Amino acid sequence: MNTTELAAHWMPFTPNKAFKANPRMLVGAQGMYWTTDEQRQVLDMTAGLWCCNAGHGHPHIAEAIARQAQTLDYAPCFGFGHPLSFELSERLAQLAPGNLNKVFYTNSGSESVETALKMALAYHQAQGNGGKQIFIGRERGYHGVNFGGISVGGLTNNHKAFGQWIPNDHLSHTQDLELNAFSRGLPLYGGEEKANELEKLIKRHDASRIAAVIIEPISGAGGVLPPPIGYLKRIREICDRHGILLIFDEVICGFGRTGNVFASQTFDVIPDIITTAKGLTNGAAPMGAVLAGDHIYEAVVEGAGAGVELFHGYTYSAHPLACAAAMATLDIYEQEGLYHRGAEKGELARYFEQGLHSLKGLPGVVDIRNYSLLAAVEFEPLNGKPGATGGLIQTAAWEQGMMLRSLGDAIAMSPPLIIEKSHIDDAIGILELSIRQQLS
Ligand SMILES: Cc1ncc(COP(=O)(O)O)c(C=O)c1O
């Protein structure tokens, strides 16, 4: 495509001018590979944007969407319903941990986050605690791009032009290179101490004003930061002690990314609300789902009078095509054993870990961290150009046939869960070459 043909699309999270001068176009995808407009095959080590967990182009999903489009293309879900959304909800409730049995549909991770924040406020209001309005997020957290999400998120670029309009405060992030560099699996040190910071924030604001803590069990877009041992459990304990809700943003972690359906199960910590999206439909249709505890639903819905209980929802909530895609996706995850394929102690995760850590000692590499089939390699910032190294490595890898995600001075990998050892070998080989080319 030429410059004129590329002009109209204002692309998201993209350096538009650079892209349009040198476009990287995808025209097809199958299994572990993209096809580019030059008919190159590119190994997908990112599952798209952390979403195509079952790999690309699965016929079962394509057929389900096509069939649904011919049967019921759309159904409003304000005051009306269609059977598939109830079947899907029942299935998600079965998969969810603890009492998270109520499912509210959105179209994206960002909308799931907004929905979860509103649920928390509505819950406290229904309990007579309307003063609980502050949300605690975490530095380097990413919770999407809407106003609630950028308020609780901890990535400065995402809010500096827009503000943070929801009352908020933030825990520090959990990365500590002095204590935990080159950690394999969960970092060993500092978990409880880091979590205890929440007590300080509670002292600062008072528990009577704090609605919820929202964190990703493993920070994704902030650099892939697995929680140090003990961290999540301690956060849960502190929330319980002070009547503060805990929201896990599992938009990346959900649907097999940590070796279980949800990271909540992997880390044995049950939050009050889980946000999901991405892997729910394998990326094949836009959809998010918020899983809320029975206590949240009972307070907000059962406790209310007649009429609409929660003034919230989207035109495309529970869209029939997305529900069909999600049902088919869950079939594949179950049939192909994908929820547990990347289990931390499993053969595949171990192989991935060994490959990654063989890169220690390469020029510029200051950290390698991984959990299950999720990993990051971090580089020393270039003089005068902090945040540029990830992009350099990403471009070099793309030219050699592999897609990576660049995150400032790091690159992330979150491959489809169908990955085989031979793909891991290829990925580590290309990454090594890219690092040597760019940073020697
Ligand atoms: C943890 C987390 N929450 C929310 C979002 C936002 O999702 P979306 O881009 O679908 O709005 C993302 C996206 O990467 C995410 O990683």
- The token pair at 390 is 């990830």
CA–centroid distance, residue 107 to ligand 1 (Å): 11
Q: What is the pTM assigned to this prediction?
A: 0.98
pLDDT tier at 1 (50, 70, 90 boundaries)? confident
Phi/psi-derived region of residue 120, left when phi > 0, alpha when psi is between -120 and 50, beta in every other case: alpha
CA–centroid distance, residue 108 to ligand 1 (Å): 7
The residue whose C-alpha atom lies closest to atom 13 belonging to ligand 1 is 144
Mean pLDDT of 1-21: 95
Pocket test for ligand 1, best of 50, 107, 143 (most atoms within 8 A of CB): 143
pLDDT tier at 208 (50, 70, 90 boundaries)? very high
Q: Is the CB of 113 under 6 A from ligand 1?
A: yes
**Tens digit of each residue's pLDDT (9 = 90 or more) over 65-83:** 999 999 999 999 999 999 9
Taken as a whole, the chain contains a residue count of 440
Q: In what order do the strands lie in the sheet with 134-138?
A: 102-106, 288-292, 273-276, 245-249, 210-215, 134-138, 168-171
- Per domain, the residue ranges of the chain are 3-53+340-439, 63-335
- The token pair at 415 is 């491959």
The CA distance from 30 to 42, in Å, is 10
Q: Which is nearest to 251 in space by CA: 106, 95, 44?
A: 106
Pocket test for ligand 1, best of 110, 158, 255 (most atoms within 8 A of CB): 110
Tell me which DSSP letter residue 338 carries.
-
Query: Of all residues in the chain, what percent carry a pLDDT higher than 70?
Result: 100
CA–centroid distance, residue 136 to ligand 1 (Å): 18
The CA distance from 60 to 73, in Å, is 18
The CA distance from 234 to 208, in Å, is 20
Mean pLDDT of 97-116: 98
In this structure, are residues 51 and 278 in contact, taking their beta carbons and an 8 Å threshold?
Answer: yes
In this structure, are residues 430 and 402 in contact, taking their beta carbons and an 8 Å threshold?
Answer: yes
Residue linked to tokens 């594949």: 332
Q: Is the CB of 236 under 6 A from ligand 1?
A: no
**Tens digit of each residue's pLDDT (9 = 90 or more) over 234-266:** 999 999 999 999 999 999 999 999 999 999 999
Q: Is the CB of 110 under 6 A from ligand 1?
A: yes
Looking at residue 32, its pLDDT comes to 98
In this structure, are residues 417 and 256 in contact, taking their beta carbons and an 8 Å threshold?
Answer: yes
Topology agreement, domain 3-53+340-439 and domain 63-335: no
Q: What is the CATH number of domain 3-53+340-439?
A: 3.90.1150.10
**Hey, is 36 helix, strand or coil?**
strand
Q: What is the CATH number of domain 63-335?
A: 3.40.640.10
Looking at residue 82, its pLDDT comes to 98
**Tens digit of each residue's pLDDT (9 = 90 or more) over 13-36:** 999 999 999 999 999 999 999 999
The CA distance from 272 to 99, in Å, is 8
CA–centroid distance, residue 149 to ligand 1 (Å): 9
Q: Which is nearest to 112 in space by CA: 249, 315, 11, 245?
A: 249
DSSP-assigned states of every residue in 272-325:
SEEEE-GGGGTTSS--EEEEE-HHHHIIIIITS-SS-SS----TTTT-HHHHHH
Burial of 335 (0-12, 13-18, 19+ CB in 10 A): exposed
Q: What is the mean pLDDT of the chain?
A: 98
CB proximity list for 415: less than 8 A, separation 6 or greater: 32, 44, 45, 46, 47, 373, 423, 427
**Tens digit of each residue's pLDDT (9 = 90 or more) over 43-62:** 999 999 999 999 999 999 99
**Tens digit of each residue's pLDDT (9 = 90 or more) over 361-372:** 999 999 999 999
Q: Which is nearest to 362 in space by CA: 379, 350, 349?
A: 379
Pocket test for ligand 1, best of 278, 282, 405, 414 (most atoms within 8 A of CB): 278
Buried b (16+ CB within 10 A) or exposed e, 176-188: beeebeebbbbbe
The CA distance from 294 to 97, in Å, is 12
Q: Is the CB of 342 under 6 A from ligand 1?
A: no
Query: Of all residues in the chain, what percent carry a pLDDT higher than 90?
Result: 99
CA–centroid distance, residue 186 to ligand 1 (Å): 22
Looking at residue 103, its pLDDT comes to 99
CA–centroid distance, residue 84 to ligand 1 (Å): 25
Q: Is the pLDDT of residue 100 over 90?
A: yes
What one-letter code names the amino acid at 135? F
Q: Is the CB of 114 under 6 A from ligand 1?
A: no
Q: Which is nearest to 371 in space by CA: 175, 98, 183?
A: 183
The CA distance from 64 to 89, in Å, is 17
What does DSSP say about strands 273-276 and 245-249: parallel, antiparallel, or unpaired? Answer: parallel
**Tens digit of each residue's pLDDT (9 = 90 or more) over 290-342:** 999 999 999 999 999 999 999 999 999 999 999 999 999 999 999 999 999 99
CB proximity list for 304: less than 8 A, separation 6 or greater: 126
Q: Is the CB of 108 under 6 A from ligand 1?
A: yes
The CA distance from 281 to 215, in Å, is 22
Q: What is the phi/psi pair of residue 121, to 5°?
A: -65, -45
Pocket test for ligand 1, best of 11, 252, 253, 264 (most atoms within 8 A of CB): 252
User: Of all atoms in ligand 1, which is nearest to the CA of residue 250?
Assistant: 1
